[in-house]
Amino acid sequence: MPHGSHAAIRGIVADVAPVPILVFAKAPDPGTVKTRLVPTLGEGGAAVLAARFARRTLDTAARAAVGPVVLMCAPDPTHAFFEVCRRRHGVTLEPQGHGDLGERMHRAFATTLAHAAGAIVVGTDTPDLCTSDLVEAAEALRDGVDAVLGPAEDGGYWLLGLRRPAAALFEAMPWSTADVLRITRERLAALGWRAHFLAVRTDIDRPDDIHTMLQRPELAPLVADLVARQSGGGAS
């Protein structure tokens, strides 16, 4: 076979290399998730919404078909909700482990990238995540960019993709603040890494975000019944 043909085959293999998607999720127990939405939805409603978001994210990740989907579980994979997700979505369950968000994300990347050429981490707070977002991120990593970021309107990010781990991207990060994206971009520049940026999306964290969801036909069904139940004086 001509040398050029070997090169072409290697290129095709590289183009279709699987890119694992790591979905970070917390067990949806009332009073422990989406606490900023409790005034609008009640503790029970906020927990139901968190569970719906997680299942929607897993479904989107599976349909993107860019690589295996791993559900990174907190506090651990033994929670009944995670077992349901494993059965329904065919995902692998792994514990997030100890440490702050940065430590857990860095450890997940380091473990995954030991046997994969790229990996993507997403949370479950972005219900308008599309399969096309994940395909675009995976293709960018396959094409050789060092990092992919999905910027969030609140100054954070809803997706991070990497080709190799770097603790510097996660250490001493003021998580849950409007500075996360800016600092991450600065650290990527300091590393000399090339980055690809996806569309800006909105994390659903605050009561105002629920109003935004209700105005969007594709998202309203996720929350309309919960708002109605709480407005009608239903139990939280």
Residue 2 lies in a domain: no
Residue 163 lies in a domain: yes
Tell me what pLDDT residue 2 has.
46
Residue 118 lies in a domain: yes
State the total domains in the chain: 1
List strands edge to edge, sheet with 157-162.
Answer: 92-95, 69-74, 21-26, 119-122, 157-162, 147-151, 195-197
In angstroms, the Cα distances linking 177 to 114, 193, 227 are 30, 23, 27
Tell me which residue range forms the domain holding 46.
17-231
In angstroms, the Cα distances linking 106 to 111, 209, 227 are 9, 29, 36
Percentage of the chain modeled with pLDDT above 70? 92
* Mean pLDDT for the chain overall: 92
Domain containing residue 111: CATH number: 3.90.550.10
Residue 1 lies in a domain: no
Instruction: Yes or no: say if 76 and 104 are a contact pair by the CB < 8 Å rule.
Output: no
Q: Can you tell me the distance from the alpha carbon of 14 to that of 22, in angstroms, rounded to the nearest whole number? A: 20
H-helix or E-strand containing 132?
Answer: helix 131-142
Residue 56 lies in a domain: yes
Residue 3 lies in a domain: no
Residue 4 lies in a domain: no
Per-block average pLDDT, block size 10, for the chain (236 residues)?
Answer: 42 68 98 96 97 98 98 97 97 97 98 97 97 98 98 96 98 95 98 98 94 95 95 60
